Amino acid sequence: MYAAVSNSWPLLLGIGLLMLGNGLQGSLVGIRAALEGFPTGVIGFVMSGYYAGFLFGSVITPRILSVVGHVRVFAALASLASSAVLLYVVFIDPIVWGIMRLVTGFAYAGLYIVCESWLNDVATNETRGQLLSVYMIIVMGGMAVGQFFLNVADPSGFTLFVIISVMVSLALIPLSLTANPAPNFLQITRLSLKKLYKVSPLGVVGMCAQGVIAGAFYGMAAVYGDKIGLSIAQISTFISITIVGGVILQWPVGKLSDRFDRRQVILVTTMLSGAAALLAMFAAEDGQILWFLVGAGLFGGFSVPLYSLCIAHTNDYLEPAEMVGASSGLMLVNGIGAIFGPIIVGQLMSEVGTYIFFGLIAAGHVGVGLFAIVRMIRTQATPLEEQGDFVAMPMRSGTAVVAMHPETEEWVEEELAEQEKEAEREAEKEAEAMSDAEEEIDLKDDGPAIGD
């Protein structure tokens, strides 16, 4: 474990800096938009831009990587993300901010993919699962710690935006100076949504609903906190404790899902998350800050594992060779849901009331629970001996992280080896074509001159 982390510390340090900046930026933009007087419904559209850009970047970046290379792509996207965040304080306009959120999401999707590809390349069969766990802790921990930077300076000024820009720029340094060679990039072919739903209806519906819930929460939590009168310190604590709760309960919930019907664990987990959201909602209405934070922490603790549970449940019906494509497809479904989360909750907060923030989140979790009951009535459970092991997956990561799943390691290595052979064959064909072209040129040069 120590050797694996010590060999990957530049990557992990760069990822940590990126997540500090990303965690701070999401909350800061929401708070600043409220301070600038943007309507709540408009803020929802602005915040959804990140998830739209993230989805677009997840599709486009792999194509760019195959042409340009990892280091150049990382440098370009980090520079893009660093520059975009400074434009918020230059142009105070919701349309510009929406575009910047789109650009930021696109950049971060690519940055995650580069880091994950590199991390997967340095991992061995013995360290792959451990590195994935460390990666998840750094991603979620960076998001949680980033919230407290809100207290460093006044959100109505420009200092916090500069800090974010510096963090993203600093992330370039350890990765640019790493001695590890650029990794081979695994081209992932997603399973079609139709096939995914046929394989695991609960996995698809659960991931989509979790995307809507996560997008609504992380996109609008800071705005909600501002609307109910929380101080900046309380907002940072509120969001951070939700993330930390998800990290703490991820493994206990996962271990239970390995011992029982995974659908039952999904049912209990999502219902408990819905109940915790209601606790937070009523506590906020009564001004009970302590119980509000308890409810928020429990909500995150039970909601975050739903992401990994849905992936694990779907994988129970698949062969290892299909898991990478299926997980990538589920992340796509989750990303689509996340786009609509801030928009829906923003509009409802504007038209119905601020309290609906946690009310909508609770309704989403109850809906997943009811669908789980329907699936349990209609189909038999997968035998426990046929269930795979639960693997904790970080939310809002890139699609390349699915290749780090321990159960797919043999298939990933075979696929990378085959892609490498294919690249060598293409290079040989190009070399032969160039050689033939040179011979033709030589023959023409050696031919008789005109008039001989």
For residue 85, is it within any domain? yes
Side chain identity, residue 119: L
Reading the chain (452 residues) residue by residue, the pLDDT tens digits are: 565 566 667 778 888 888 999 999 989 999 999 999 999 999 999 999 999 999 888 888 877 777 777 778 888 888 899 999 999 999 999 999 999 999 999 999 888 888 777 777 766 666 666 777 788 888 888 899 999 999 999 998 999 999 999 998 898 887 776 655 555 655 666 677 888 888 889 989 999 999 999 999 999 999 999 999 999 999 999 999 999 998 898 888 888 888 888 899 999 999 999 999 999 999 998 889 999 999 999 999 999 989 888 888 888 887 777 777 777 788 888 889 999 999 999 999 999 989 899 999 999 999 999 999 999 998 887 787 777 777 777 776 655 566 666 665 555 555 555 655 665 666 667 666 666 666 666 656 555 554 44
Distance CA 355, CA 40 (A): 13
Of 402, 343, 357, 358, nearest to 52 by C-alpha is 343
Tokens of 420: 């490498």
Spacing of C-alpha 248 from chain mean position: 18
- Cα radius of gyration (the chain): 24
Residue 184 lies in a domain: yes
Domain that holds residue 339: 2-416
Please indicate, yes or no, if residue 81 is contained in any of the structural domains: yes
Distance, CA of 120 to CA of 126 (rounded, Å): 12
Residue 318 is predicted with a pLDDT of: 79
Query: In this structure, what CATH number is given to the domain that contains residue 51?
Result: 1.20.1250.20
Coil, helix or strand at residue 357 = helix
Among 124, 137, 205, residue whose Cα is nearest residue 373: 205
> Is 377 within the bounds of a domain?
yes
Joined tokens for residue 132: 């994935």
Q: List Cβ neighbours of 297 (8 Å cut-off, separation of 6 or more).
A: 241, 242, 244, 245
CA nearest neighbour of 105 among 54, 58, 57: 54
Which amino acid is residue 271, in one-letter code?
M
Task: Report how many domains make up the chain.
Answer: 1
Model pTM above 0.95:
no
The C-alpha atoms of residue 351 and residue 359 are separated, in whole angstroms, by 14
Would residue 421 count as lying in a domain?
no
Tell me, yes or no, whether 312 lies in a domain. yes
Count CA within 13 A, CB hemisphere, residue 351. 9
Closest C-alpha to 316, from 411, 259, 388: 388
Whether 281 and 357 have beta carbons less than 8 Å apart is answered as yes
Contact 223, 30 (CB under 8 A): yes
165 within a domain of the structure (yes/no):
yes
pLDDT computed for residue 392 by the predictor: 73
Q: What is the C-alpha to C-alpha distance for residues 355 and 301, in angstroms, rounded to an integer?
A: 21
Q: Are 81 and 107 in contact (CB under 8 A)?
A: yes
Yes or no: say if 371 and 273 are a contact pair by the CB < 8 Å rule: no
Specify the pLDDT at position 87.
93
* Residue 221, number of CB atoms within 10 A of its CB: 24
Cα-based torsion angle of the residue sequence 254, 259, 262, 263 in order, rounded to the nearest 10 degrees: -130
Query: Using an 8 Å Cβ cutoff, are 167 and 20 in contact?
Result: yes
Amino acid letter at 242?
Answer: T
435 falls within a domain: no
Give the count of beta carbons closer than 10 Å to the beta carbon of residue 144: 23
Coil, strand or helix at 209: helix
Q: What's the CA gap between 62 and 58, in Å, rounded?
A: 7
> In the prediction, which pLDDT does 452 show?
43
Give start and end residues of each alpha helix (H) in 260-386: 262-285, 289-303, 305-315, 320-351, 356-378
